[in-house]
Structure 1
Amino acid sequence: MNYCDWRQDIFDTPPKINPLVWELRDETYCLSPGQTLDFIDQALVDPEIPQLFTKEQIGIGLQLLFSNACGNAVFSYLETPDHQRKVTAIENLKYLYQNYFNPLCQAPLKWIGHDLDDGPIGYLCYMFWDIFVLYPGHQSISVEMTDAALTVMAEALCFKNDQVIVSALHGLGHWVNYASKAQEIIHQWQLQPTTENQAVLIYAHQAWSGCVQ
């Protein structure tokens, strides 16, 4: 299976489908973890995807890749034998924020965790670190993998996009009781926040305290 065939299988979905029950081609499921990560990394920097597919299709496709409830692709981040490949793949999630969340999640933030205006990709943006496979306390996650994930979240806080900022704060809030660096990242951002939205600033304090759901 080549990249273009895989890309079509992931993103060329009918409108309004439920990614939880959507079936991909057998060839997609049979890819090795390493090949899956290679294709995901390529998709994260593929300039053709926003031109070929709708915002809804992109959101659904990204859920198929990154939600632990929507298939096995995301488990490649844990199952690839090469540890450095895992770390690199996690580092490359910065492109998910740069090329997808930031340009496509532009709805005004009104009610954190309940805004649906951006559709499937908006849901993924907010819930990403909840439904991704890097759980705090997971025995298969190394210090290097954790640091890579926290760095992605820290860099996401530099965007002047409330949806992206909240996504990062949400993830960091889950990590504060497991990695002291998470709380420090939030604190440093609070000193020079990239938004004036009071709802986000309040949420940042909640995340710093580990009080996120």
Structure 2
Amino acid sequence: MRVLVAEDHAILARTIATGLRRQSMAVDLAASGDQAERMCLLAPYDVLILDRDLPVMTGDEVCRSLRALEDPPLILMLTAAGTLEDKVYGLEELGADDYLAKPFDFSELVARVRALSRRAPTPPSVVHRYAGISLDLARHEARVDDRAVELTPKEFAVLQVLVEARGEAVPHRELVRSVWDENLDPRTSAVRATVSRLRGKLGVPDLITADAGEGYRLCR
């Protein structure tokens, strides 16, 4: 799940992002309303956690703007404006999908984000196949030579990128951009560690090869 946190309080934004990443979510940050709007136009976020009191462009303006999109992210307003009137206005007039007042319990925030993600339309079953691997994208199920393989969300996402490349090399930076979030240092060992675990779970050590200077590819 990819989440954008639009919050101008830097410490709170980093705290929320860290907690959501520990829940296996990819999280980006925006410190102003215009930045949040721009990022939502450039990337397909599943959920936008939106403060109403943002600089340059208010959260209210962002919400109205995104609601005009053909496929807007689900919006959770997270704000100090917590009266009943504020909540009704945010949900009914602005079109937010959910509303949570500050201060809040983090476990409730996680539960609400997950509940919103379940409200997204379920895509038709799409199965991608290559090199003996089949991936059911709707059910998040992976099989190798008809053997079920249990994968974490990150492992599944990495394998999906490689399967869709159909034997072409996928650069390290492209995997970082597609599977993690903009906060991840591209020099990190996270990709190598995930690919290493994938090799072990797939049971075919040479199925994923690393080409120096090019990236990772499926080779079978």
**TM-score, normalisation: structure 2:** 0.27
Q: Which structure: greater helix fraction? A: 1
- Which structure is richer in relative contact order (CA contacts within 8 A, separation 6 or more)? 1
Larger proportion of strand: 2
Q: Normalising to structure 1: TM-score of the pair?
A: 0.28
Higher Cα Rg, which structure: 2
